[in-house]
Amino acid sequence: MSLMNAMMLSCIKATKLIEMREHVRLNFLENVQLHMHTVMCSGCRNYIKHTRRINELLQKKFITNNIKPDTAALEAAIISDLSEQK
């Protein structure tokens, strides 16, 4: 496997890293891979913009309305949906 192949990400892997970095710090290799991918992929650059905007709007809604989401119910619903997809 060449170095370039090892460094390149698919859009699926790139979007996973984009979402991950909202919650955890990416390691050096992940940051480099994501940067290289987004330099060449306008779709993933747009995904980053949209994800940031959605997160901003959600934060604003929760903070403005003093809403505390029911994460346990949300987690149960997600697990249920994932189980049904199998």
For residue 3, what pLDDT is reported? 58
For residue 17, what pLDDT is reported? 94
For residue 76, what pLDDT is reported? 81
Instruction: Give residue-wise pLDDT tens across range 16-59.
Output: 999 999 888 999 999 999 999 999 999 999 999 999 999 888 88
Range 33-37, long-range pairs (CB < 8 A, 24+ positions) = 33/7, 33/8, 33/9, 34/9, 36/7, 36/8, 36/9, 37/8, 37/9, 37/11
Where are the domains positioned within the chain? 3-85
What CA–CA distance (Å, rounded) separates 33 from 49?
Answer: 18
